[in-house]
Chains A and B, each alone.
Chain A
Amino acid sequence: MGYAVSEPGTTRAPSALAIKILIAGGFGVGKTTMVGTISEIRPLHTEELLSDRGIGVDDTSGVESKTTTTVALDFGRITIRDGLWLYLFGTPGQDRFWFMWDELALGALGAVVLADTRRLQDCFPAVDYFEQRGIPFVVGVNCFDGARRYEPGKVRRALGLAEHIPIVMCDVRRRASVRDVLTTLVTYAVKGA
């Protein structure tokens, strides 16, 4: 076998396709857990080495004195078949890594914004981000033990979400639950409301 060498100027038919999905939300809301629950591999962990440019720009509370820093990037994979994969990327939770989002979001099919009803405001920035860029997203309300149950309608009002944006109650530790969130997202992103 072997793969044909692509000729300059021609676009080879895609031999493989990796679909990118982002998992966003506030710090500690369960993004990494969600990736780990559904991924066929242990979430792969890679660290991004960053120069000091762009860090601390929006952050007035602390100025980085180091010249380099690292930000962990967790991702998981679901193989649909040979040559067709879903990749789940957990977005960095800290505000100072916002600039990484643009690169992560580019070409993404869509995003899951995880919300914790005890700190609903933590997911506002992610909701704003995807709304402004027109990236399809669903809100997954992670039902933590001991958290008060909220009606989806209340969450929708609190977040100011348009009617067409799906809200899914979920438990990111349960595979079936994560699967439901992802099928909702894929359908919403491909088919629209």
Chain B
Amino acid sequence: MTGEDPGPLIRLYGLTGGRARPQGESFDLVAIVVTVGDLPQPSDLLPEHRAVLSLCRRPTPVADVAAHLRLPINITRVILGDLRRDGLISIERPRPVAQTIDERIYREVLDGLRSL
């Protein structure tokens, strides 16, 4: 490979301004991220921000966003926190797991696993 990597740490610092924690309410590794529809994108977005907005037109869990961006989850969270602050994405609030899995979902999961 040619081209010199300026150093991943420098790049990460640029993306987050050195922050280690996201803005606002905390969110889970598998919280669902959705791009808020139909808002014009600000013109000064970083490529990573654009990538998130494009990816999350389909509801996407935080961990998948990180994998897609090839960035650490901490860094991804800072980026997501910024986009949420700017009203460009919504991030699902934490829900108690017991309330999320009803009989129908339980059956779907079991059937899905059995068909693997």
| Main secondary structure on B side of the interface with A | mixed
Contact of A81 with B108 in the complex, beta carbons under 8 Å: yes
Which one of B12, B34, B35, B94 has the highest number of Cβ atoms from chain A below 10 Å of its Cβ? Answer: B34
Smallest CB separation, A185 vs chain B (Å): 10
Is the C-beta of A103 less than 8 angstroms from some C-beta in chain B? yes
Which of A14-22, A120-128, A165-173 forms contacts with chain B?
Answer: A14-22
Smallest CB separation, B12 vs chain A (Å): 7
From 26 to 85 in chain B, residues with beta carbon under 8 angstroms from any chain A beta carbon are: 28-32, 34-38, 59, 61, 63-64, 66-67, 70-75
Contact of A183 with B114 in the complex, beta carbons under 8 Å: yes
From 1 to 32 in chain A, residues with beta carbon under 8 angstroms from any chain B beta carbon are: 2-6, 11-12, 14-20
For A, the interface residue count at a CB cutoff of 8 angstroms equals 52
A47 to chain B: which residues have CB within 8 Å?
72
With CB as the reference atom, state the residue of chain A lying closest to B90.
A6
B9 to chain A: which residues have CB within 8 Å?
68
Smallest CB separation, B84 vs chain A (Å): 11
Smallest CB separation, B31 vs chain A (Å): 8
Contacts A46-B67, A87-B61 given; indicate if A3 touches B34 (C-beta within 8 A). Answer: yes
Is the C-beta of B113 less than 8 angstroms from some C-beta in chain A? yes
Is the C-beta of B116 less than 8 angstroms from some C-beta in chain A? yes
> How far does the alpha carbon of A107 sit from the alpha carbon of B73 in the complex, in Å?
17
Taking Cβ atoms with an 8 Å cutoff, the residues of B that contact A are 9, 12, 20, 28-32, 34-38, 59, 61, 63-64, 66-67, 70-75, 90, 92-97, 100-101, 105-106, 108-110, 112-114, 116
